[in-house]
Amino acid sequence: MIDLTSMAAGAKIAARHMAHASTDDKNIALKAIAINLERFQKDILTANKQDINEGQKNGLNSALIDRLTLTPERLGAMADDVTNIASLPDPIGECFDRQILENGLQIERQRVPIGVLGVIYESRPNVTIDVTALAIKTGNVVLLRGGSETIHSNRVLVNLVQQALRDADLPESSVQFIDDRDRKYVAELLKLHEYVEMIIPRGSNALHTFCRENSTIPVITGGIGICHLYVDESADIKLAIPVIENAKVQRPSVCNALDTLLVHEAIAADLLPRVINQLGESGVTFRTDKQALSILEKARLSNDSTKVQLAGPNDFDIEWLSLVLGIKIVKNLDEATEHIHKHSTNHSDGILTETDKHAERFVAEIDSAAVYVNSSTRFTDGGQLGLGAEVAVSTQRLHARGPMGLPELSTYKWVVRGSYTSRS
């Protein structure tokens, strides 16, 4: 039985300590985490294998198993990300917007940690390390509630993090793990507004909805990605196909993977058979509109077993998280942007074009957290965009948008200096 209120109260106390921790001490902890990921690799992989076996027995689909899986390569990448975060400038204590008023008051804003973060996530044990590293660097404290399917992996990961905190003489209660599968603790965490400043859910749309509807604490939502690429009439088809393949195939189970390909009707007959042939070799199946299906039925495909079928009424509103790609032919840029406005979750959407005017229009009219020109959507990632890692990808407008790195995990206070100044 977990006393979550006591955990949160301890986190609140730790937050006061972490807010004043030196950059050097925080970096010592981060470097120790990176070392521990290598040092305890065998323990981590053994625990992760247990999670995978249980997940397969419980019928988790391939996308969730992929998100759950840790490998030596993935652990190495996690350690590299933590080391990179240690090398980044510390935003805490930064002063900005300094000015002197007519009455002689000197005012400025100073970056400070947010405080205690409640992070609720599913299937991805790497999130444990990403969130922890960013929180430590920014002097924040976290209460972690990973999915029940990752409990063995998270238990080992949090233990090595807490050891690193002790090595740096920082409070180990700065990172705490709700080590229980009972979902009642999610609901309980959402009500601890006396101790917790922000809730960050990472997972399914159902999880985000539950947090929004039940939390008495501000919630940062995002991470649900129905992502689009529009191939314009002027696009270089030869260069476009590898970008489409990367966006769909490189890691299909993540939120920035491509879900829907929009193709200008003038190039559809040329482009679509090439896309089907190329991506079909990687096991991609396709849901197309009637016009695209008609073109493909007349085309010579390299593999007759490639699965192409008519899209269902809701298929363009699905985040596939698997090797399924929706395809729709559009008449022009206007129809492409209209489709995106109707079906996008405002995560990551892009255009492939050689027409600068069309690129600028797309950037102006598509209001997603990340908008791409001639690039794969797979770059919506804190590490890829130079943030070291991310605590979440926010698709809302308040406080933060897109990958949330170090600056997004800070707030600010006003500092006002006078000379025994009174208001007249």
Average pLDDT for 344-369: 97
The torsion angles phi and psi of 172, rounded to 5 degrees, stand at -70, -20
Total domain count, the chain: 2
* Claim to verify: residue 169 and residue 250 sit in the same structural domain: no
CATH number at residue 58: 3.40.605.10
pLDDT tens column, 14-37: 999 999 999 999 999 999 999 999
Residue 384 lies in a domain: no
Q: What is the pLDDT of residue 299?
A: 78
* Claim to verify: residue 360 and residue 322 sit in the same structural domain: yes
Q: How confident is the model at residue 404 (pLDDT cuts 50, 70, 90)?
A: confident
* Claim to verify: residue 170 and residue 279 sit in the same structural domain: no
Residue 393 lies in a domain: no
Helix residue ranges per DSSP H, 102-204: 126-137, 151-167, 184-189
Domain extent at residue 104 = 4-220+404-417
**222 class by beta-carbon count within 10 Å (0-12 exposed, 13-18 middle, 19+ buried):** buried
Amino acid at 232: D
Q: What is the pLDDT of residue 235?
A: 98
* Residue 373 zone, left/alpha/beta (φ > 0; ψ -120 to 50; rest): beta
- Is the per-residue pLDDT at 383 higher than 90? no
3-state helix, strand, coil in the chain (%, to 5): 45, 20, 35
Average pLDDT for 386-411: 86
* Claim to verify: residue 212 and residue 299 sit in the same structural domain: no
Nearest alpha carbon to residue 322 among 59, 68, 125, 64: 64
* Claim to verify: residue 192 and residue 236 sit in the same structural domain: no
* Claim to verify: residue 209 and residue 232 sit in the same structural domain: no
* Claim to verify: residue 269 and residue 318 sit in the same structural domain: yes
- CB 343 within 8 Å of CB 336: no
Q: Which residues contact 327 (CB under 8 A, 6 or more apart)?
A: 260, 261, 263, 272, 275, 286, 287, 288, 289, 292, 311
- Is the per-residue pLDDT at 302 higher than 70? no
Q: What is the Cα 42 distance to its own chain's centre?
A: 27
* Claim to verify: residue 200 and residue 242 sit in the same structural domain: no
Nearest alpha carbon to residue 158 among 137, 169, 172: 172
User: 392 or 51, which is more confident?
Assistant: 51
- Cα radius of gyration (the chain): 24
**Helix 41-57 to helix 151-167 angle, to the nearest 10 degrees?**
160
CATH number at residue 333: 3.40.309.10
- CB 200 within 8 Å of CB 232: no
Residue 390 lies in a domain: no
Query: Alpha-carbon distance 103 to 410, whole Å?
Result: 30
Q: What is the pLDDT of residue 146?
A: 93
Q: What is the pLDDT of residue 206?
A: 87
Residue 395 lies in a domain: no
pLDDT tens column, 120-154: 998 789 999 999 999 999 999 999 999 899 999 99
- CB 230 within 8 Å of CB 333: yes
- CB 110 within 8 Å of CB 191: no
* Claim to verify: residue 191 and residue 274 sit in the same structural domain: no
- Is the per-residue pLDDT at 423 higher than 60? yes
Q: What is the Cα 174 distance to its own chain's centre?
A: 22
* Claim to verify: residue 253 and residue 323 sit in the same structural domain: yes
Residue 96 lies in a domain: yes
pLDDT tens column, 233-242: 999 999 999 9
- CB 36 within 8 Å of CB 84: no
Residue 92 lies in a domain: yes
Residue 170 lies in a domain: yes
Residue 47 lies in a domain: yes
* Claim to verify: residue 166 and residue 254 sit in the same structural domain: no
Query: Alpha-carbon distance 166 to 164, whole Å?
Result: 5
Q: Are strands 370-373 and 348-352 parallel, antiparallel or unpaired?
A: parallel
* Claim to verify: residue 53 and residue 194 sit in the same structural domain: yes
- Is the per-residue pLDDT at 319 higher than 90? yes
Average pLDDT for 30-56: 97
**Residue 406 host element (H or E):** none
User: 64 or 359, which is more confident?
Assistant: 359
